[in-house]
């Protein structure tokens, strides 16, 4: 899995038998700086896009193959013992309303480099069936975190954030809430040179500008009813620039370091508020909120989220048995398993697709 934060590639090795689930190992590789820059620029239109996308997809497949190799070494397994790799690819456009979503990927090269079957292109079948193509993780979250006696919400805070609502004896629900880490990372990098605000410490010293926040929350996406999904198509540097400009600020380095921290704090509160509003509007009966994704490691974001959800237990997924950085990668292993066993991977109630569909395409090892 390589998500919208563009921080790197997470891989997990899992064994799934008769719906029994076991995680055997986790490996991570950062994206090389040139590849990260290229993938980021491919999120908006630019010169020679097809050529740039082709090169980026090859470089990404090489990193995927490295992660697979690391995992096999770590877990002491041979390629022949692996049923399949689920390879999500890197989302560079997500426009389900226009009938497409694009994940840059080179599954043929990945199959060639690893000698393993590769399942890729998980989202487009759901979009072809009239769905959002996202989020695809609620079925997996359901298999892992649902409880027979209470409503559980799973929050994934990647570049964007999404929730899964798991009620006893009901199909899961879920949708994207808004920006997760993407805007926080962009602002932090601009002002500190660090790719993200470690533990949320830099932003924690800032003050939220409530009027700026209220203005950001007027973005129509927040009030759309589900099914809905979002990405860097909406919440990107341009969105950040326009928002700051409407308050007389530029998105360049601020002369006033306190103001830079205030913007970070306000963006952090925006991410927290978007998630909390989604939960209170759609799952006020929840007793537990399980948080996964890198945003769970941002203590300032977690504190803000807990403060808005005082009637619920808010805890990282570690306390439910799975490391916060493994959940999304495990979900794509699960989706690959669903493909191999010819089971639907989407939840029509979540994506709005016309029905359940087997997701992905197979690139055989040989």
Ligand X SMILES: Nc1ncnc2c1ncn2[C@@H]1O[C@H](COP(=O)(O)OP(=O)(O)OP(=O)(O)O)[C@@H](O)[C@H]1O
List contacts with ligand X (CB under 6 A).
Answer: 1, 3-5, 7, 156, 158-159, 181, 185, 196-200, 293-295, 297-298, 328
- Site residues (CB under 5 A) for Mg ion? 3, 5, 7
Cα(83)–Cα(365) distance, rounded to whole angstroms? 10
Cα(152)–Cα(163) distance, rounded to whole angstroms? 10
**CB of residue 204 vs ligand X: minimum separation in angstroms?**
11
Q: Which is nearer to ligand X, 114 or 181 (CB)?
A: 181
**CB of residue 295 vs ligand X: minimum separation in angstroms?**
6
Q: Which is nearer to Mg ion, 206 or 294 (CB)?
A: 294
**CB of residue 278 vs Mg ion: minimum separation in angstroms?**
21
User: Could you say which of ligand X, Mg ion, none residue 4 binds, taking C-beta under 5 to 8 angstroms by partner kind?
Assistant: ligand X
User: Could you say which of ligand X, Mg ion, none residue 230 binds, taking C-beta under 5 to 8 angstroms by partner kind?
Assistant: none
**CB of residue 230 vs ligand X: minimum separation in angstroms?**
12
User: Could you say which of Mg ion, ligand X, none residue 345 binds, taking C-beta under 5 to 8 angstroms by partner kind?
Assistant: none
Residue nearest to ligand X (CB): 294
User: Could you say which of Mg ion, ligand X, none residue 295 binds, taking C-beta under 5 to 8 angstroms by partner kind?
Assistant: ligand X
- Of how many residues is the chain composed? 366
Cα(40)–Cα(43) distance, rounded to whole angstroms? 5
DSSP string for residues in 219-285: SHHHHPPSS----TTTSSHHHHHHHHHTTT--SS--S-HHHHHHHHHHHHHHHHHHHHHHHHHH-TT
3-state secondary structure of 21: strand
**CB of residue 318 vs ligand X: minimum separation in angstroms?**
13
Q: Which is nearer to Mg ion, 9 or 263 (CB)?
A: 9
* Per-residue b or e along 160-174, where b marks 16 or more CB atoms closer than 10 Å to that residue's CB: bbbbbbbbeeeebbb
DSSP string for residues in 149-195: TB-EEEEEESSEEEEEEE-TTS--EEEEEEESSHHHHHHHHHHHS-S
Angle at 228 between CA 294 and CA 97, to 5 degrees: 120
Residue nearest to Mg ion (CB): 3
User: Could you say which of ligand X, Mg ion, none residue 293 binds, taking C-beta under 5 to 8 angstroms by partner kind?
Assistant: ligand X
Q: Which is nearer to ligand X, 3 or 131 (CB)?
A: 3
Q: Which is nearer to ligand X, 112 or 233 (CB)?
A: 233
User: Could you say which of Mg ion, ligand X, none residue 360 binds, taking C-beta under 5 to 8 angstroms by partner kind?
Assistant: none
Q: Which is nearer to ligand X, 198 or 361 (CB)?
A: 198
Q: Which is nearer to Mg ion, 29 or 139 (CB)?
A: 29
**CB of residue 258 vs Mg ion: minimum separation in angstroms?**
30
**CB of residue 78 vs Mg ion: minimum separation in angstroms?**
27
* Per-residue b or e along 252-277, where b marks 16 or more CB atoms closer than 10 Å to that residue's CB: eebeeeeebbbbbbbbbbbbbbbbbb
Longest C-alpha distance within the chain, in Å? 59
């Amino acid at each position: 899995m390589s998500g919208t934060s563009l921080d790197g590639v997470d891989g997990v090795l899992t064994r799934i038998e008769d719906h029994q689930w076991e995680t055997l190992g986790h490996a991570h590789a950062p994206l090389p700086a040139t590849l990260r820059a290229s993938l980021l620029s491919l999120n908006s239109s630019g010169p020679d896009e097809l050529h740039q996308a082709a090169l980026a997809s090859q470089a990404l497949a090489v990193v995927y193959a490295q992660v697979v190799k690391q995992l096999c070494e770590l877990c002491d397994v041979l390629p022949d013992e692996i049923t399949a790799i689920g390879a999500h690819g890197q989302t560079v456009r997500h426009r389900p309303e226009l009938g497409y979503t694009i994940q840059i990927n080179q599954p043929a090269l990945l199959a060639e480099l690893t000698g393993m079957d590769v399942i890729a292109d998980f989202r487009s079948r759901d979009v072809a069936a009239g769905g959002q193509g996202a989020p695809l993780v609620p079925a997996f979250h359901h298999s892992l975190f649902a409880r027979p006696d209470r409503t559980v919400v799973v929050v994934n805070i990647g570049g964007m954030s999404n929730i899964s609502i798991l009620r006893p004896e009901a199909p899961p629900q879920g949708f994207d809430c808004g920006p997760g880490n993407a805007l926080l990372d962009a602002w932090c990098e601009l002002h500190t040179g660090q790719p993200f605000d470690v533990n949320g410490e830099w932003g924690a010293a800032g003050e939220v500008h409530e009027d700026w926040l209220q203005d950001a929350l007027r973005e129509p996406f927040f009030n759309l009813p589900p099914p809905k999904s979002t990405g860097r198509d909406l919440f990107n540097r341009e969105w950040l620039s326009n928002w700051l400009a409407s308050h007389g600020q530029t998105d360049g380095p601020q002369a006033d370091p306190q103001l830079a921290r205030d913007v970070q704090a306000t963006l952090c509160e925006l991410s927290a508020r978007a998630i909390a509003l989604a939960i209170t509007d759609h799952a006020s009966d929840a007793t537990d909120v399980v948080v996964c994704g890198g945003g769970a490691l941002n203590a300032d974001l977690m504190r803000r989220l807990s403060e808005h959800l005082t009637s619920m237990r808010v805890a990282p997924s570690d306390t439910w048995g799975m490391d916060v950085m493994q959940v999304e990668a495990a979900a794509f292993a699960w989706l690959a398993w669903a493909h191999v066993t010819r089971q639907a991977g989407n939840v029509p109630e979540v994506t709005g697709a016309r029905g359940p569909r087997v997701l992905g395409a197979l690139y055989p090892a040989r």
